A and B are shown apart, each in its own frame.
Chain A
Amino acid sequence: GAVVSQHPSWVICKSGTSVKIECRSLDFQATTMFWYRQFPKQSLMLMATSNEGSKATYEQGVEKDKFLINHASLTLSTLTVTSAHPEDSSFYICSSKRTSSYEQYFGPGTRLTVT
Chain B
Amino acid sequence: GQNIDQPTEMTATEGAIVQINCTYQTSGFNGLFWYQQHAGEAPTFLSYNVLDGLEEKGRFSSFLSRSKGYSYLLLKELQMKDSASYLCAVDTNAGKSTFGDGTTLTVKP
Assuming the contacts A42-B101, A43-B101, A102-B31, asked whether A97 and B95 have C-beta atoms less than 8 A apart, the reply is yes
Docked CA distance A61–B101 (Å): 18
Please give the residue numbers on chain B whose beta carbons come within 8 Å of chain A beta carbons, in ascending order. Answer: 30-31, 40-45, 48, 87, 89, 91, 94-102, 104
Q: Tell which of B40, B44, B91, B99 touches A44, judged by Cβ atoms closer than 8 Å.
A: B99
Please give the residue numbers on chain A whose beta carbons come within 8 Å of chain B beta carbons, in ascending order. Answer: 32, 34, 41-46, 49, 91, 93, 97, 102-104, 106-109, 111
What would 29 A/B residue contacts be, using CB atoms closer than 8 Å?
A32-B95, A34-B96, A42-B101, A42-B102, A43-B87, A43-B99, A43-B100, A43-B101, A44-B43, A44-B87, A45-B99, A46-B96, A46-B97, A46-B98, A93-B42, A93-B43, A97-B95, A102-B31, A102-B48, A102-B95, A103-B48, A104-B45, A104-B97, A106-B43, A106-B44, A107-B42, A109-B40, A109-B41, A111-B40
Q: Tell which of B43, B91, B98, B104 touches A102, judged by Cβ atoms closer than 8 Å.
A: B91
